[in-house]
């Protein structure tokens, strides 16, 4: 799985995991991707899209 939203291009983000003792360790946040079916050029295609794009309905008017 590519871990990148097909519609908006959102991918993994990085930052620090901070303990109570303020120790810092690298961590990653992955986008919440779901598999959806879209129509592209008259054929049905299955793609990974983030839940925010699904909620907005960005896949309905997608020209990607």
* Residue 57: per-residue pLDDT: 87
Task: Give the separation between CA 55 and CA 64, rounded to whole angstroms.
Answer: 17
CATH for 64: 2.30.170.40
pTM higher than the cut 0.85: no
How confident is the prediction along the chain (64 residues), in pLDDT tens digits per residue?
789 999 999 999 999 999 999 999 999 999 999 999 998 888 999 999 999 999 998 877 665 5
Q: What is the tally of structural domains in the chain?
A: 1
* Residue 22: per-residue pLDDT: 97
Containing H/E element for 55? helix 51-56
* Residue 63: per-residue pLDDT: 58
């Amino acid at each position: 799985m590519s871990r990148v939203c097909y519609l908006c291009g959102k991918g993994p983000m990085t930052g620090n995991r901070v303990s109570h003792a303020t120790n810092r360790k690298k961590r990653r946040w992955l986008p919440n991707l779901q598999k959806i079916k879209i129509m592209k050029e008259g054929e049905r295609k299955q793609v990974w899209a983030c839940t925010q794009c699904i909620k907005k309905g960005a896949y309905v008017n997608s020209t990607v």
